[in-house]
Every structure is written in structure tokens, then in C-alpha cells.
């Protein structure tokens, strides 16, 4: 039997995923060692391999088949637009992709003004404004602390993740429009989907009983 390889996005998502896997009897003790700099972990009995990657790289590993299966946020999956099959909503990591800004930006959105939109997710922002809303905007790609942009006058609004809403509140910003709901998803390489159909079906069945 060949190894089934999993790519997990580093951080909280990976922790929750490993907790979920434990519940269905998939363990990987060596992965819990926080001191370790090891990148890949093996469960010999079950013929499984796990590795931790940067979140946005997970769909890349899965598209190319370097991992059969991946767990990533829906935000990452949408933004990366890779050829992978999304097979399961894992239900955790729940948050929303939103257009946010100062309430004074509301009429600019309503009147389809040519505004500037700062975001870590240019593809999601483009799809939302161009294809869904038919509003021409200027997209400005940033890499973090997106909430700064409307405060310092870089953009009128942002497209960003809202979880508790506290970052927005503490910075006097509000959700102006909702783009889509987000959560952790399981993705599968299209070839693995066919070649490892039985093992993947079995895994999905077991996971569903825990959701
Ligand atoms: C994310 C997101 C928001 C914040 C939302 O940022 O970009 O800034 O979390 O969470 P909240 O609604 O619970 O306040 P993250 O902390 O991942 O860092 P970043 O600024 O580098 O994107």
C-alpha cells in the first residue's frame, strides 16, 4: 500500500485538524513535539504521511499531487484557484470574508464609485467587485494588518476576514458588505481522488461522523 500524504496549513488549523483526526483513530505523536524542526511525519501502521506548509501553499501541493489531501481555509482555496476537489467542510475556522471600512464609505459602494480596495486576497476581491457587483475598483494588494489601509487613507475599503469583529471595532471600522462565509475545508488531488477512491471515501465517512 502506498502512503497517503496530507498537507496541513501551519497553525491553529493544523492543531484542530490533528485533534479531529485523533478522534477517528489517526494519530501522529511525533507531530505534537513543539521543539521539533522536522517537516514531515509518518504513521507507519496506517501508511500516512503528514506535513505542515504555509496555508496558501497547501492547494499548490495538492494540485501537483505532492500531497493527496490538504486542509486549508476556504479563503485560501478561493484565492489560489487551484485545480483541486473540495470534498468536506470541516466546520471549524469559521469566519466571513467581508468588505469593511468606515461607515462613510457606504454611499461609495452603493453608487459604484471607483474606489480603492486594499486586501490580502486580490483574486477574491476582483471576483466580488468585477463579476458579482459589476463595480470597477482599484485593488491594492497588502500582506497583513489590512485594517490600517482605510485608517491611513490608502484605500476607502478593505476586503478581509472577520472572525470576532474585534479588530474592526477597535479601529472604528465596520462590516459594510459580506462576500462569503469561510471555514476549514478538505481538498483532494483529482488523480488521487480516483486512484485512492476507497481509502478517501472511508476517511470522509469517518470524519463525517465527528462533525
Ligand atoms: C485576521 C484578519 C483580521 C483579523 C480578524 O488577521 O485579517 O485582521 O484576523 O479577526 P477578528 O474579527 O477576530 O478581529 P490576522 O490576525 O490573521 O493577521 P494579518 O493582519 O497578518 O492578516
Residues with CB under 6 A from ligand 1: 120, 144-147, 160-167
CA of 74 to the centre of ligand 1 (A): 15
Query: pLDDT tens digit string along 147-167?
Result: 999 999 999 999 999 999 999
**Which one of 99, 162, 179 would you pick to mutate in the ligand 1 pocket, going by the greatest count of ligand atoms within 8 A of its CB?**
162
CA of 160 to the centre of ligand 1 (A): 8
User: How confident is the model over 24-44, as a mean pLDDT?
Assistant: 83
Nearest alpha carbon, ligand 1 atom 10: 163
pLDDT of residue 32: 73
CA of 20 to the centre of ligand 1 (A): 24
CA of 13 to the centre of ligand 1 (A): 14
* Position 29 pLDDT exceeds 90: no
Q: Which atom of ligand 1 is nearest to the CA of 161?
A: 2
| 27 band by pLDDT with thresholds 50, 70 and 90 | confident
Average pLDDT along the chain = 95
Percent of the chain clearing pLDDT 90 (strictly above): 91
CA of 161 to the centre of ligand 1 (A): 6
Nearest alpha carbon, ligand 1 atom 5: 162
Q: Which atom of ligand 1 is nearest to the CA of 168?
A: 14
| 34 band by pLDDT with thresholds 50, 70 and 90 | confident
Residues 6+ apart with CB under 8 A from 148: 154
| 6 band by pLDDT with thresholds 50, 70 and 90 | very high
| 87 band by pLDDT with thresholds 50, 70 and 90 | very high
User: How confident is the model over 66-81, as a mean pLDDT?
Assistant: 98
- d(CA 149, CA 116) in angstroms, rounded, equals 10
CA of 143 to the centre of ligand 1 (A): 11
pTM: 0.94
Amino acid at each position: 500500500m502506498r502512503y497517503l500524504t496530507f498537507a496541513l496549513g501551519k497553525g491553529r488549523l493544523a492543531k484542530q485538524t490533528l485533534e479531529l483526526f485523533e478522534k477517528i483513530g489517526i494519530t501522529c505523536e511525533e507531530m505534537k513535539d513543539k521543539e521539533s524542526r522536522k517537516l514531515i511525519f509518518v504513521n507507519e501502521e496506517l501508511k500516512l504521511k503528514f506535513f505542515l506548509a504555509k496555508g496558501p501553499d497547501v492547494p499548490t501541493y495538492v494540485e501537483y499531487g505532492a500531497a493527496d489531501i490538504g486542509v486549508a481555509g476556504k479563503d485560501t482555496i478561493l484565492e489560489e484557484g487551484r485545480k483541486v476537489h473540495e470534498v468536506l467542510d470541516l466546520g471549524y475556522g469559521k469566519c466571513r470574508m467581508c468588505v469593511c471600512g468606515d461607515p462613510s464609505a457606504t454611499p461609495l459602494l452603493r453608487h459604484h464609485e471607483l474606489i480603492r480596495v486594499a486586501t490580502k486576497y486580490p483574486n477574491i476581491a476582483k471576483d466580488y467587485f468585477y463579476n458579482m457587483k459589476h463595480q470597477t475598483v482599484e485593488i491594492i494588494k497588502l500582506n497583513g494588518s489590512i485594517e490600517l489601509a482605510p485608517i491611513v487613507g490608502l484605500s476607502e475599503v478593505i476586503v478581509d476576514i472577520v472572525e470576532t469583529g474585534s479588530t474592526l471595532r477597535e479601529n472604528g471600522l465596520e462590516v459594510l458588505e459580506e462576500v462569503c462565509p469561510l471555514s476549514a475545508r478538505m481538498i483532494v488531488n483529482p488523480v488521487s481522488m480516483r486512484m485512492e477512491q476507497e481509502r478517501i471515501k472511508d476517511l470522509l465517512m469517518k470524519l463525517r461522523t465527528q462533525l
